[in-house]
């Protein structure tokens, strides 16, 4: 019987005293938050989806935000951000792992499932959820983006 590799806790995580990339070196991924589950393996991803620390075939954390009612990670196949998953977890709720798209007019990462629309505004981390015709906006208390675009385009 073949053993499935277990996801291991990252060697580094982001906590209240973490200074991310103070050297200004091009990074391949953001660090997962301290205290969240370890990145999932490929087999765990197939079975139950991604977690907030990403992993599996979407190992790169491109963007993450913490709002008053949820944590959200944008998980990419690579640091280019061309193909990504929108992973969010409401406080006390289950993790939702969805195929994501980028809407350049809104400057937002967007996803939909079962009549619920999710969007994270890239410029300020606000999470916008539309359900049953009602829209809720949760302002970010903390957000960070992997700077993977040239400032000289």
Domain borders along the chain are 42-141
- The residue length of the chain stands at 153
8 A C-beta contact, residue 42 and residue 4: no
Which of 28, 119, 122 shows the shortest CA–CA distance to 77?
28
Which of 73, 98, 90 shows the shortest CA–CA distance to 136?
90
| 128-148 pLDDT per residue, tens | 999 999 999 999 998 888 864
Indicate whether 151 pLDDT > 60. Answer: no
At 26, is the pLDDT very low, low, confident or very high (cuts 50, 70, 90)? Answer: low
Angle at 24 between CA 79 and CA 122, to 5 degrees: 50
At 16, is the pLDDT very low, low, confident or very high (cuts 50, 70, 90)? Answer: low
pTM of the shown model: 0.80
CA–CA separation, 123 and 32 (whole Å):
20
Indicate whether 1 pLDDT > 50. Answer: no
């Amino acid at each position: 019987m073949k053993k499935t590799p277990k996801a291991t806790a990252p060697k580094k995580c982001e906590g209240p005293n973490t200074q991310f990339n103070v050297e200004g070196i091009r990074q391949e991924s953001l660090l997962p938050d301290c205290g969240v589950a370890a990145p999932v393996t490929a087999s765990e991803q197939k079975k139950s989806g991604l977690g907030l620390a990403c992993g599996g075939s979407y190992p790169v954390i491109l963007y993450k935000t913490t709002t008053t009612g949820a944590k959200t990670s944008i998980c990419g196949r690579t640091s280019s951000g061309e193909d990504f998953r929108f992973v969010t977890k409401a406080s006390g709720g289950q993790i939702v792992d969805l195929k994501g798209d980028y809407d350049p007019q809104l400057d937002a990462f967007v996803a939909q499932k079962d009549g619920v629309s999710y969007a994270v505004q890239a410029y300020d981390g606000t999470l916008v959820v539309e359900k049953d015709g009602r829209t809720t906006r949760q302002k970010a208390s903390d957000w960070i983006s992997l700077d993977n675009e040239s400032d000289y385009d």
